[in-house]
Structure 1
Amino acid sequence: MMELSSRNRFKGTVKNVNLGAVNAEITIEIAPGVEVVSVITKSSAERLQLAEGKEAYALIKSTDVAIAVE
């Protein structure tokens, strides 16, 4: 795998690809019942040939993660 600056890498399986006019919402299951959802450009989803069942990685850059509690 290519070296990346993102340290948080989660390997999983694409569970859902929802293509819009410009963006795509991608759901990756990284463990049973644990999902990560990302919005990327439609062209990126097509270029990566993302489809249900395909293996993929969710890369999370720590500067872009927000935490909330009630």
Structure 2
Amino acid sequence: MKLSARNTIKGKVKKIMPGVVSTEVVLELTPGIELTAVITKDSAQSLGLTVGKEAYAVIKSTDVMVGVD
């Protein structure tokens, strides 16, 4: 995966809270350090996010996106 964003942080999905339109995803970066992102429900489904799966927080400007290999 190549991205233009310079701030990419690897973590594991700790919690997924789906809503009607968006999904809140909590990544555990290291024990005790978590990052929360809100992405579309469709994106969460197409990424195949599940608790325990490795994923990336991709930070560009004011946005945080989630990506997987």
Q: TM-score of the superposition, structure 1-length normalised?
A: 0.85
4+ runs deviating over 4 angstroms = none
Specify every segment of 5 or more residues in structure 1 that has no aligned partner in the other structure, as ranges: 66-70
Deviation per residue, 1:11-48 (Å, 9 max, x gap): 11000000001000000001111111000000000011
Specify every segment of 5 or more residues in structure 2 that has no aligned partner in the other structure, as ranges: 64-69
**2:33 maps to what in 1?**
34
Q: TM-score of the superposition, structure 2-length normalised?
A: 0.86
More strand as a share of residues: 2
Percentage identity across paired residues of the two chains: 51
How many residue pairs are counted as aligned between the two chains?
Answer: 63
Q: How does 1:16-31 map to 2 (within 5 A)?
A: 16-31=15-30
Larger Rg: 1
Determine whether 1:10 maps to 2:9.
yes
Determine whether 1:58 maps to 2:54.
no
More helix as a share of residues: 1
